[in-house]
């Protein structure tokens, strides 16, 4: 009933806005505190609620803008594009889903690969984009990660991966699950360089992504309140028939139980990465 009232009130507010001549799209409802925020204010605050500090999901372009020095990021492997090797269809064809998300995001797949400068320190990077099929990992995402680590080995660069993913892509079946072993294997080779691999976990980081490369960084960082885990809380509760602890699988719970190293707010991430890279590369 409460949810129904909220939805009804939201509709009433939109109707009132239209009648009062207020254009739609100027205001955003915070998913953390349910407060209404002026969209421009939210953008100025790096898509973080100024009232409750809820970190909204952001796309790969915004992440690059926040983290890397202006104009320094160079994209790699954009020629790699997924295809429907299994001729998969659920409620719609996989090839149609790919086409729709390409039109929506301008991306060929759920991860952007490249390199750039963070306060003048060069680093290779993978940035996931949840807007493309929930940031799911298929063959091309796994290949981009692999090639990025190989590039970093060749150029002797640190690697930073920003995850935002629902896990392995079911439309590619076993081929998507193979990427878990493939990415771990290339990271094992990368470790021989003694250069740092920093994993930044953002909301959400789940499934096969959390169970593979995302969880084996030399330094594990998370954004506040990010959902991080393999199966979702509801699935776990139904499986074990027990109630889970409050905040289970959230970044703060993982930090308290020693599964990540730190929680860093979005406004501080660039400076934190610069300090880590300075410390780890020079030592």
Read off the CATH number of the domain in which 206 is found: 3.90.226.10
The helix/strand/coil state of 71 is coil
In this predicted structure, what is the pLDDT of residue 283? Answer: 64
Give the separation between CA 41 and CA 32, rounded to whole angstroms. Answer: 16
Domain co-membership, 87 together with 186: yes
159 pLDDT band (50/70/90 cuts)?
A: very high
The whole-model pTM stands at 0.90
Give the separation between CA 266 and CA 269, rounded to whole angstroms. Answer: 5
Domain co-membership, 86 together with 151: yes
Is residue 204 reached through a cis peptide bond, with omega within 30 degrees of 0 on the bond before it? Answer: yes
232 pLDDT band (50/70/90 cuts)?
A: confident
Domain co-membership, 165 together with 224: yes
pLDDT, tens digit, for every residue of 21-51?
A: 446 689 999 999 999 999 999 999 999 999 9
Domain co-membership, 132 together with 6: no
- 11, 30, 56: which is the final residue of a domain? 56
pLDDT at 17 over 60: no
Q: What is the DSSP string of 175-238?
A: HHHHHHHHHHHHHHHHGGGT--EEEEEEEEE-HHHHTTGGG--SEEEE-TT-BB-SS-HHHHHH
15 pLDDT band (50/70/90 cuts)?
A: low
Domain co-membership, 114 together with 205: yes
pLDDT at 264 over 80: yes
Domain co-membership, 25 together with 144: no
Ramachandran region of residue 116, left (φ > 0), alpha (ψ -120 to 50) or beta? beta
With 0-12 CB in 10 A as exposed, 13-18 as middle and 19+ as buried, what is 232? middle
Domain co-membership, 159 together with 263: yes
| Domain span holding position 199 | 57-282
Give the separation between CA 224 and CA 266, rounded to whole angstroms. Answer: 9
Greater pLDDT, 24 or 120: 120
Query: Alpha helices of the chain — where are they, by DSSP H?
Result: 2-19, 39-44, 60-67, 94-105, 139-155, 174-190, 207-210, 233-240, 251-256, 269-282
Domain co-membership, 177 together with 265: yes
Domain co-membership, 31 together with 91: no
Q: How many domains does the chain have?
A: 2
Domain co-membership, 27 together with 119: no
Supply the DSSP symbol for 243.
P
Domain co-membership, 72 together with 50: no
């Amino acid at each position: 009933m409460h949810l129904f009232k909220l939805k009804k009130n939201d509709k009433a507010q939109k109707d009132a806005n239209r009648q009062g001549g207020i254009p739609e799209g100027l205001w955003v409802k915070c998913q953390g505190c349910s407060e209404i925020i002026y969209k421009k204010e939210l953008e100025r605050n790096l898509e973080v609620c100024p009232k409750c500090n809820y970190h909204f999901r952001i796309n790969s372009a915004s992440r690059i803008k926040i983290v890397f020095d202006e104009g320094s990021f160079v994209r790699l492997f954009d020629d790699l594009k997924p295809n429907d090797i299994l001729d998969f269809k659920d409620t719609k064809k996989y090839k149609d889903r790919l086409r729709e998300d390409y039109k929506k995001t301008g991306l060929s797949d759920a991860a952007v690969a490249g390199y750039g400068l963070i306060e003048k320190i060069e680093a290779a990077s993978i940035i996931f984009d949840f807007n493309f099929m929930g940031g799911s990992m298929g063959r091309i995402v796994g290949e981009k990660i692999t090639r990025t680590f190989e590039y970093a080995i060749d150029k002797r660069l640190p690697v930073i991966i920003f995850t935002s993913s629902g896990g392995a892509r079911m439309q590619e079946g076993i081929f998507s699950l193979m990427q878990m072993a493939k990415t771990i294997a290339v990271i094992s080779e990368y470790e021989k360089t003694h250069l740092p691999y920093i994993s930044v976990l953002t909301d959400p980081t789940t499934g096969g992504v959390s169970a593979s490369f995302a969880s084996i960084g030399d330094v594990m960082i998370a954004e506040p309140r990010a959902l991080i885990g393999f199966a979702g809380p509801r699935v776990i509760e139904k499986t074990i028939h027990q109630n889970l602890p409050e905040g289970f699988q959230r970044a703060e719970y993982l930090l308290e139980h020693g599964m990540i190293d730190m929680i860093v707010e979005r406004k501080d991430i660039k400076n934190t990465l610069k300090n880590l890279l300075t410390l780890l590369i020079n030592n």
